Structure 1
C-alpha cells in the first residue's frame, strides 16, 4: 500500500521565454506555423512515449530538432522505423484537423519549450510533449489544487466539493479537476461561482465535451480558466485515456483533495499518482456507513492527511504555493540585473514597489472589502493572474481575505 508523506515541490526553471502571463493572453502561444507542424508531428506519432521523447531531448536542444536529423540518429534516440516513418510522413488529415482547431479563437498549443507549460507537470517523468489548451493559458502556471471524487457523489459530497472549491479559490488557488459528473463538475462550478479560475483536464480532444451535459460548464471554464488535453482533436472518450488524464491533473497540482471515493474509484488512481509525483494528498472523512467514504478512509490509513476544512489545506499548501509563485514570477518576468539585492533575505517582497501590475492590483483592491470579480474588472488583469497575485499579497500581509470572496488592502 502506498504511504502518503509530505514532499517538497520545487519547480524547475526554464529560460525559453520572458513573456508575462498578461502578454501571453494578448498573443498566441501557438508556435510559428512550421514549428507547430513539427510539434504536432511528434504528438501524432502512435506509441511515442516519454522514454523516446526523453531520448530526443537528450540528443537535441528541443524535441522538434529531430527534423534535421538522419534516420540513424533518430534510431539512436530510441525511435523505431515505424516511428520515424510517421514523423517523416504524418497523417495529413489528422494534422489538418489539429491546425484547423488551433486556428480558432483563444486556442493554444503549449509545448514543453514554452514558458507557459505547467512547471510542476514538466517535472514528472511521463509529461506530455504538448498540451492543447482552450481559454486562458496563463492559468496553467498559477498554483493549483486538484479536487477529485466520485461521479455518483452523495448530496453531502457535492456540498463539500462546492464549499472547498469556493474557499480555496478565494484563497487564490486555481482549482483543477477532470470535468466529470459528480465531484469534478461541482468543484469546477463552485470555483467559478466564487469568481475563481479553474482548469478542466479532458480525456478527449478539445473539439468535443465529455460528458456532453457539461458543455455549458466547459464554456464557463474556458472563459475564466482553461480546458486542457494531451489528446489531439478527433480523439473520443476511450477508456484508456482517463488514467493518462489523471496523471496530468495530479502532475499540475501542488496537492490533490479527494472528497468522496469508492474502493475502486478512479480518484484513488489520481491520489496514487499524486503520491508518486511527490504531491500532497488530502482526504475528507465520512460516515462508516457510506460506501463512498471507504476510499477516503483507505487513503487516510495509508498516510493521506485527514482534513475537515479548506483552511487546513491552505495551511499545508500555502508555503509551497508561495515558492511556486515566486519561481513562476522569476521565470516569466525576470528581475533586471541591477535590482537591489538582499530583499528576499530581509523578508521584504521585491515586487510590491517595483512591479506595476502588483501596484495596479493593490489600487484595484482598495481598503474596503472588494469582491473578486470587481477586482478583476478594475485591474484589467486575467482571473488567473489576479488569483495568483492575491495569494502572494495575502501571504506577504499586504491584503486580507474576507467572507464572500472579498479582499481588502492592509494599512
Structure 2
C-alpha cells in the first residue's frame, strides 16, 4: 500500500460517511502523517492498517453512527473475526471485583468469544489478563497511538495480548494518551461488541460512558450487582434499575446474544475471504446459546428442549452433550438442568 492508495481508500462522500476522527482531514493535508503510518505498517508483520471498506473491518463497528475510518491494529488480524463482549469497570477495584472479572472473562472466552476492553488499570486489565492466561483472544482499544503502552504497568500484558489477540487504535502512532481521547475511544470498545458488561462501577466511573454508548448503539448492556454499602457498585445498580441485565454468570449474558451474534456471522460469510471452515468454530453463542436458553434451572425434559428450541432431536442431543461436557448443564432424572458456573 503506497501513499496514494491509502489516500484514495480514505476518500469519502460527506453525505454518506461521518468524519468521526479527524484522520481523513489529516490524511488530505498532511502526507507526512501518511508516510509515518506506512512506515509503521512496514516495521513488522503483525502491524496492520484496516480501512472502513476492508473485509477485515469489524462487522459490528461498521454499524455505529461514527465508525473510525481507519484502525491501526497490532497483533493477530483474525482476532477481529469472532463475536466479542466488552468488559469494563473502575480502575480502583476490590479483590472481589478482580476475581469476578477473571471468572466471567474466562468463561466467555472459553466459549469462543473475544473479550474487548481498554487495557486500563483495574477491571480492564483483569479481563485482558484472564483471557491471555488461557490463550484466548482479547482486543485492547487504546486512547493513544497503537505503539504507545499506557498505562506503563501493563507493558508485559500489552505484548502478551498480541500473541492471540490484538491492540487497536484509531489514533496515529506515537499519539500520547490525552484525557480527551478516552471517552472517544469508548465508542469503539462498545461498538466492537455484541454487548457491554460493567463490573464494579461507581457513579462517576468512565465505564458508564461505555455503557451509555452501547445503549445508543442498540447493543446489550449487562451489569454485575454488589454490596449496597460499598461504593464500588452504585453505577452498576443504576444501570440495572435502568434496564441493564443483572449478571451472575456467563449464561446470563449468552442467552441474550443469539440473534446479534448470528447477524455477525452472516455478515462474515458474505465477505469473500471468509469461508465456513474459518467461522464454524468461532462463537459458542451462535451454535449453542439458543439451546442453553431452552434448559431451565429446574429439570427440563428433552422433549421440552426440542419444543422450545425448535431444533431436530438429533441436533438437540448432540448439543446437549456438548453443553454437558463444557459444564453448562447436567443430566438428572427426567432430563437436564442448567448449572451455575462457579
Q: Are positions 1:36 and 2:25 aligned together?
A: no
Residues 276/88 of structure 1: CA separation in 2 closer, same or farther (3 Å cut): closer
C-alpha displacement at 1:242, in angstroms?
Answer: 0.2
| Counterpart residue number, 2:126 | 186
| Pairs aligned (count) | 294
**C-alpha displacement of 1:393:** 4.8
Secondary structure of the structure 1 residue equivalent to 2:256: helix
Q: What SS does the aligned partner of 1:282 have?
A: strand
- Structure 1 residues 293 and 332: alpha-carbon distance in aligned structure 2, compared to 1, 3 A threshold: farther
- Aligned 8 A contact 1:198 1:225 in 2: yes
Deviation by residue 1:61-100 (Cα, 9 ceiling, x = unmatched) = xx9xxxxxxxxxxxxx9xxxxx97x6554152x3332222
Q: SS of the counterpart of 1:261?
A: coil
1:197 aligns with 2:197: no
| Paired position in structure 2 for 1:96 | 35
Higher relative contact order (CA 8 A, sep 6+): 1
Cross-structure match for 2:64: 124
Q: 1:272 to 1:308 in 2, by over 3 A?
A: same
Distance 1:217 1:327, change over 3 A: same
- 1:303 aligned partner: 243
Question: Quick check: 1:194–1:404 contact (8 Å CA) kept in 2?
Answer: no
What is the aligned counterpart of 2:94 among 150, 154, 161? Answer: 154
Separation in 2 of the partners of 1:123 and 1:276? 12
Q: Name structure 1 gaps, 5 residues minimum.
A: 1-30, 43-52, 64-76, 78-82, 336-354, 359-384, 406-411
TM-score norm. by structure 2 comes to 0.78
Q: Which residue of structure 2 aligns with residue 250 of structure 1?
A: 190
1:230 & 1:87 partners in 2: Cα distance? Answer: 13
1:327 CA drift (Å): 2.4
Q: Which runs of 5+ in 2 are unaligned?
A: 290-314, 329-342
Deviations 1:176-195 (A, max 9, x none): 00000100011011112233
Q: Give, in angstroms, the shift of residue 213 of structure 1.
A: 1.1
Seen in structure 2, the aligned counterparts of structure 1 residues 54 and 239 have a Cα distance that, compared at 3 Å, is: farther
CA gap of 1:88–1:109, structure 2 versus 1, over 3 A, is: closer
Q: TM-score, normalised by structure 1?
A: 0.66
CA contact (8 A) 2:194 2:257 kept: yes
Name 1:55's counterpart in structure 2: 14
Check the 8 A contact 2:140/2:167 in 1, yes or no. yes
Distance change (3 Å), C-alpha of 1:389 and 1:270: closer
Aligned alpha-carbon RMSD (Å): 2.7
Tell me the equivalent position of 2:296: none
Q: Deviations over 1:226-270 (max 9, x none)?
A: 110000112111011001110000011110000111111100000
